[in-house]
Chains A and B, each alone.
Chain A
Amino acid sequence: NAGVTQTPKFRILKIGQSMTLQCAQDMNHNYMYWYRQDPGMGLKLIYYSVGAGITDKGEVPNGYNVSRSTTEDFPLRLELAAPSQTSVYFCASSYDQELNTEAFFGQGTRLTVV
Chain B
Amino acid sequence: EDQVTQSPEALRLQEGESSSLNCSYTVSGLRGLFWYRQDPGKGPEFLFTLYSAGEEKEKERLKATLTKKESFLHITAPKPEDSATYLCAVQAEGNKLVFGAGTILRVKS
Q: Which A residues are within 8 Å of any B CB, using their own CB?
A: 4, 33, 35, 40-45, 48, 58-59, 90, 92, 97-98, 100, 102-108
Contacts and interface: CB of A to CB of B under 8 A. Distances in A.
B47 to A, nearest CB: 9
B73 interface: no
Interface in B31-55: 31-32, 34, 36, 41-46, 49, 51
21 contacts: A35-B99, A40-B101, A42-B101, A42-B102, A43-B44, A43-B87, A43-B99, A45-B98, A48-B96, A59-B96, A90-B44, A92-B43, A97-B91, A98-B95, A100-B51, A103-B34, A103-B44, A103-B46, A103-B97, A105-B36, A108-B43
Contact of B34 (A90, A102, A106): A102
B11 interface: no
Given A97-B91, A108-B42, A102 B96 contact: no
Contacts of B46: 102-104
Contacts of A100: 31-32, 49, 51, 91
Interface residues of B, number: 25
Contacts, number: 56
Nearest to B46: A102
B95 A97 contact: yes
A90 B38 CA distance: 12
B4 interface: yes
Contacts of A59: 96
A42 B99 CA distance: 5
A20 B41 CA distance: 20
A104 to B, nearest CB: 7
Contacts of B36: 105
